[in-house]
Chains A and B, each alone.
Chain A
Amino acid sequence: DIQMTQSPSAMSASVGDRVTITCRASQGISNYLAWFQQKPGKVPKRLIYAASSLMSGVPSRFSGSGSGTEFTLTISSLQPEDFATYYCLQHNSYPLTFGGGTKVGIK
């Protein structure tokens, strides 16, 4: 099984900050990686697919990069509505596996 190690598990940031979240795969997954945002009590929402493609309607301050085993989600200028938990998902092979999540809180 492919393990997804996401870091940090939690962080505090201010509005306007640049935020970077990392996911490492235990083996190469090409670009079969997606990023999701989940706000408390809400349904997860896909932000990024194929490692770097922005889902329609998602603000351009979100971007994804990486291939193989190391991936990054970047929020270029954090907005109040971005405080949430973020998850990566590898879909290179079954079983599909999520990262443990990164909770982005207010500093």
Chain B
Amino acid sequence: EVQLLESGGGLVQPGGSLRLSCAASGFIFSNYAMSWVRQAPGKGLEWVSTIGTGGVNTHYADSVKGRFTISRDNSKDTLYLQMNSLGAEDTAVYYCAKKGAITPRPGDFDFWGQGTLVTVSS
């Protein structure tokens, strides 16, 4: 059974930093690209970032480019999101999501974690 368990969310002041983690199990983690998707309170879904299987290929939404860094540790089956220079607009539930297929193209998401809430406020 695929499981994705996020952690690291919480309350942070504007301008601060936070590192999210997503522990994966139930599948061969190193075979799949992984992503972060967020959802601001009462709003829709927003793709944040994707990382390829080897950790080299990364993609970011313009809204986070230069501030967020996605990474992974395949030896620990864990995905990360380092978030710097946080602003109120980054307040959201952050989900990690597994790519739905092993293909070279961008993929959608077949499994999602439960999410971790990040609140940016003074």
Q: Give me the interface of A with B, judged by CB distance under 8 Å.
A: 32, 34, 36, 38, 43-46, 49, 55, 87, 89, 91-101
Q: Which residues of B contact A100 (CB under 8 A)?
A: 44
Please determine whether A49 and B100 come into contact, CB atoms closer than 8 angstroms. yes
Closest to A99 in B: B44
Report which of A32, A34, A93, A94 forms a contact with B109, defined as CB distance below 8 A: A34
Q: Say whether chain B's binding surface is mostly helix, strand, loop, or mixed.
A: strand
Please determine whether B110 and A94 come into contact, CB atoms closer than 8 angstroms. no
Please determine whether A46 and B113 come into contact, CB atoms closer than 8 angstroms. no
Q: Which residues of B contact A96 (CB under 8 A)?
A: 35, 47, 50, 106, 108
Please determine whether A98 and B110 come into contact, CB atoms closer than 8 angstroms. no
Known pairs A43-B112, A49-B108, A89-B108; A94 contacts B59 (CB<8 A): yes
Q: Which residues of A contact B115 (CB under 8 A)?
A: 43
Is B1 part of the binding interface, using a Cβ–Cβ cutoff of 8 Å? Answer: no
| Among B45, B95, B110, B111: residue with most chain A CB under 10 A | B45
Report which of B59, B61, B62, B108 forms a contact with A46, defined as CB distance below 8 A: B108
Q: List 16 A-B contacts (CB under 8 A).
A: A34-B100, A43-B114, A44-B109, A46-B111, A49-B100, A91-B107, A92-B105, A92-B106, A94-B50, A95-B62, A96-B106, A96-B108, A98-B44, A98-B46, A100-B44, A101-B44
Please determine whether B106 and A87 come into contact, CB atoms closer than 8 angstroms. no
Q: Which residues of A contact B37 (CB under 8 A)?
A: 44
Complex: how many Å from CA A87 to CA B60?
20
